A = this chain, B = another copy of it.
Amino acid sequence: MTEYSGGGDPKRSLELLWGVRPRPRRGPKPRLTAEEIVRAAIALADAEGLDALSMRRIADELGVSPMSIYTYVPGKAELIDVMVDRAFGELAPLGKGFEEGTWRARLERIARENWALFHRHPWMLQITTVRPPMGPNLLGKYEYELRAVDGLGLSDVEMDSVVALVTGFAESSARVSVNAAEAERRSGMSDEQWWESVAPLLDTLVDEADYPLGSRVGAAAGQEYSAAVGPGHAFEFGLARILDGVEALISSR
């Protein structure tokens, strides 16, 4: 399942994100709040994944009927918008400022914080944020990250590009790592076990001589990755390369 943030009614989403719903003056006391629903939804998605996140499950969790949820939230799309903003909010509060350290240390920290966030909330990787939910937390995160590259002689567009490159890389390598863990959970097999179950059959189908480089390099890489380093290696390697590339850009200014 891939969801789209910004998939719902933009007006309703923004009202929800900024909490501007006028307090109802009549009718029965509400049993819930939108915030409770968001918390329950995030907890459920953390624990069981986005596929398990259904309006019925959320309602179950909160002890109400499925349709009651729609009293507080226009629909699933708008709910997801708020979930995304709240979850990204775990990043911005850290950023009181960057008084010390080099730009490189700051960008590295941002990359690691984003990487860790996606591991805490793997469901976020299944949500496309090309039309990001414009909530307080997402705006705060962007502001925080831009401060890491302010005053280095980069143009505004370059500042945005560098931040997008680093956070985008953190996201995409977290995706690999999270998907590996999820594949392990689903299949009940570690990567090693999976490979051992595939290799014998593959051997009968393929002549290694047809793929000389792939056989050699694949074996070496498999050895390395199964040695507990795993997907974290790709993150470290890529981050070092990218920051070297950014360094080349900055010193050309």
Contact = CB atoms under 8 A, between A and B. Distances in A.
Q: By CB atoms of chain B within 10 A, which of A216, A242, A246 has the most?
A: A242
B1 A164 contact: no
A36 to B, nearest CB: 22
Given A217-B159, A217-B160, A220-B160, A201 B10 contact: yes
A198 to B, nearest CB: 5
B217 A146 contact: yes
Contacts of A21: none
A153 interface: no
Given A211-B140, A213-B143, A241-B246, A205 B168 contact: no
Contacts of A169: 169, 172
Given A130-B183, A201-B10, A244 B249 contact: yes
A198 B244 contact: no
A139 interface: yes
Interface in A61-85: none
A241 B238 CA distance: 11
A142 B218 contact: yes
A14 B146 contact: no
25 contacts: A1-B1, A6-B187, A7-B187, A10-B198, A14-B201, A14-B202, A128-B175, A128-B179, A130-B179, A131-B187, A134-B198, A139-B214, A140-B211, A146-B214, A146-B217, A150-B213, A156-B217, A168-B172, A168-B238, A172-B172, A240-B245, A242-B242, A244-B248, A244-B249, A245-B245
In order of increasing CB-CB distance, the 4 nearest A-B pairs are A241-B245, A172-B172, A156-B220, A245-B245
